Amino acid sequence: MTKELQRSPYYDLYRDKTLLLKVSGTQLEGKKFVALVANIRRFVREGIKVVLVYGGGLQIDREWSKKHAQPRPKIDGVGVNRYDVICDAVLPAYNRLSRTIREQFDADEGF
């Protein structure tokens, strides 16, 4: 992802525009997350506004397993968002991810 986003024609195409980035929850972990943050910072420095939309299936599964012995309910591999799933897993995962993302950008004073 990093090399692909570093090309200047990409910057020229989106300068002074808004770019919607949709990433999966797996992109919000470890080295992939570090690379994503670095790329978003570059976009902003190049005059590109960024809207980040993210999934969180991995993180939701993790939160669910903290409170339940059985796996999170899914149909054909897609998570079912019943009330208990939302309360026990979706909201905690969302809150944790949002906080982590905010902290990464708040840590950069020049951002």
Pairing of strands 49-54, 18-23: parallel
Q: Is 40 within 8 Å of 21 (Cβ atoms)?
A: yes
Whether pLDDT at 12 is above 90: no
Torsion angle of C-alpha atoms 34, 66, 71, 102, degrees rounded to 10 = -30
Q: What value, to the nearest 5°, has the Cα angle with vertex 16 and ends 11 and 21?
A: 65
- Three-state secondary-structure class, residue 80: coil
Contacts of 30 (CB under 8 A, 6+ apart): none
Q: pLDDT (tens digit, 9 = 90+) per residue, 56-108?
A: 999 999 999 999 999 999 999 999 989 999 999 999 999 999 999 888 888 76
Chain centre distance of CA 83: 23
Q: What is the reported pLDDT for 106?
A: 81
93 CB-contact burial (10 Å; exposed 0-12 / middle 13-18 / buried 19+): buried
> Range with the lowest mean pLDDT among 8-12, 44-48, 57-61?
8-12
Q: What is the reported pLDDT for 9?
A: 78
User: Considering the chain, what is the average pLDDT of its residues?
Assistant: 88
pTM of the model: 0.76
